[in-house]
A and B are shown apart, each in its own frame.
Chain A
Amino acid sequence: MMEIEITINGRKRRFDVEPNKLLLNLVRDDLHLTGTKYGCGIGECGACTVHLDGEAVLSCMVLAVDADGRTVDTIEGVADVNNLDPVQEAYIEEGAIQCGFCTPGFVMTTKALLAENPDPSEAEIREYLKGNYCRCTGYVNIVRAVQSAARKLGS
């Protein structure tokens, strides 16, 4: 067991973890933050995307001990109590959510994109999102949602 400290969604938390514990499972099983999904476990689908020190990463490939002393943000930290985040709003308004299982990962990647590049071209959006896999939408409405979110955040 190792003691680690992680700031999760703005709150500092301490955990005792085994070194083989994945950040994904710390978030889902210990913190019950189930918005972050297991989709493949090997970095192919992006459903487990969280922000580690502000950068989008795959929590299925990060050991919890490696997040010691760092900041982790999950989909649960995106919206405040009363309002959805503009990115979430845009996904709903543009019909970008079908089954919804990939959506948290997409929203986290989209937030990282727009933080880096507030006015991305379509090609930049498609390139940035290519590590997030969606089987339902064919990505059309997702790309539109990202464009719409960029407009919302820009105005």
Chain B
Amino acid sequence: MTINKVNTHIVPIEFEYHAPGSLDEAVGLLERYGEEAQILAGGTDLIPQMKQRKAEPKHVVNIKRIPGLACIEETPDGFRIGALAKLRAVELSPQIKEKIPLLSEAAQSIGSVQIRNLGTIGGNICNASPSADMATPLLVLDATVHIYGRDGAKTCSIAEFFQGGGDINLGRGEFVTGFTVPFPPVGAGSAFEKVGWTTFDIATVNVAAVVTLKGGKIDHCSIALGACSPAPVRGVLAEAALIGKEPSAEALEEAVEFIAACVEPRERWRRAPPEYRRRSSKALAMDALSRAIERARRFP
């Protein structure tokens, strides 16, 4: 009888609170408590879930005391972004805006200022929602996920990280410490598109695209779609259809015809029927690709 258990005035469950000061301490707690533990980062997902009794952890492990997890650093290969970097920080970082505007654009589309001041990039990804807005940019940019566990640090590609159906590739005691996001190819144009019922809504569909042009033809193309499959996915068929082609309206139209074959929206998702997601993912793919090409054209 959940109806009498939900109470959004308060956090209606009791838990033991832990605020580890180091990665190893956090791993120790997560290993010890396993399924009974939940990581608290920004809190914008976990706290409502606890109020609604969708999460009832006996142990809450607040990782915000661990130093260095909120970094946004430019490296020769791209950006190293800590899991605890606020979405607002990702959105506003002048370096990110300049070098990977796609990340900034996607971050800016999430929730509201108040939510982005709390929510973190790690939380957005680790919540494992098919509609996570940071997932599609990370997918098109082939980002690497940094994971810490009993055996120390390891990495996995973002594509391997999402396992669909709300699952992510983390073992017992492991947690995400950050991401390496490679720079897009030189001269790339990118765009993020999203449709929700209002401008303050989770995505019914979201799309990220990166394109480069060479000699008037599409040289590199990557596109990812969110909220239309159990996990965010690349639109590989559409990508293949565009590479080597002139970026004409016809070519784009042909390419987005493949989008429906790339997505697998589920009937039981209540916000919108599969047909709506298929159609609008195609529309958004067209928008994102057009804008990305437009931006790539501006490169001298």
Q: In their complex, do chains A and B touch, with some C-beta pair under 8 Å? A: yes
CA distance A60 to B40 in the complex (A): 15
The answer to whether A2 touches B44, judged by C-beta atoms less than 8 angstroms apart, is: no
Determine chain B's interface SS by DSSP, over half rule. Answer: loop
- B155 at the A interface (CB under 8 A): no
- A131 at the B interface (CB under 8 A): yes
Pick from A7-15, A18-26, A72-80, A94-102 the stretch touching chain B: A18-26
CA distance A78 to B115 in the complex (A): 22
* With contact pairs A19-B17, A20-B14, A40-B8 given, residues A49 and B114 touching in the complex (Cβ less than 8 Å): yes
The answer to whether B113 touches A20, judged by C-beta atoms less than 8 angstroms apart, is: no
CA distance A52 to B64 in the complex (A): 15
Query: B106-154: which residues lie under 8 A (CB-CB) from chain A?
Result: 111-115, 117-118
The answer to whether B15 touches A19, judged by C-beta atoms less than 8 angstroms apart, is: yes
Determine chain A's interface SS by DSSP, over half rule. Answer: mixed
The answer to whether B200 touches A61, judged by C-beta atoms less than 8 angstroms apart, is: no
Tally of chain A residues near chain B (CB < 8 A): 33
Closest chain A residue to B198, Cβ basis: A130
The answer to whether A56 touches B43, judged by C-beta atoms less than 8 angstroms apart, is: no
Closest chain A residue to B13, Cβ basis: A20
CA distance A113 to B88 in the complex (A): 13
Identify A20's interface contact among B15, B44, B117, B118, CB under 8 A: B15
- Residues of A near B50 (CB, < 8 A) are 20
- B289 at the A interface (CB under 8 A): no
- A43 at the B interface (CB under 8 A): yes
Identify A46's interface contact among B10, B64, B112, CB under 8 A: B112
CB distance from B44 to the nearest CB of A (A): 5
Closest chain A residue to B46, Cβ basis: A61
The answer to whether B17 touches A55, judged by C-beta atoms less than 8 angstroms apart, is: no
- Residues of A near B64 (CB, < 8 A) are 66
CA distance A62 to B50 in the complex (A): 12
The answer to whether B11 touches A20, judged by C-beta atoms less than 8 angstroms apart, is: yes
The answer to whether B113 touches A109, judged by C-beta atoms less than 8 angstroms apart, is: yes
* With contact pairs A42-B8, A62-B43, A130-B200 given, residues A56 and B17 touching in the complex (Cβ less than 8 Å): no
CB distance from B271 to the nearest CB of A (A): 15
The answer to whether A56 touches B44, judged by C-beta atoms less than 8 angstroms apart, is: no
Interface residues in chain A, defined as those with a beta carbon under 8 Å from any beta carbon in chain B: 2, 18-22, 25, 38, 40-43, 46, 49, 52, 55-58, 60-63, 65-66, 109, 112-113, 127-128, 130-132
Interface residues in chain B, defined as those with a beta carbon under 8 Å from any beta carbon in chain A: 8-11, 13-17, 19, 40, 42-44, 47-48, 50-52, 60, 62, 64, 88, 111-115, 117-118, 199-200
Q: What are 11 A-to-B residue pairs whose CB atoms are below 8 Å?
A: A19-B17, A20-B13, A25-B9, A25-B10, A42-B48, A52-B117, A58-B118, A61-B42, A61-B44, A61-B115, A66-B43
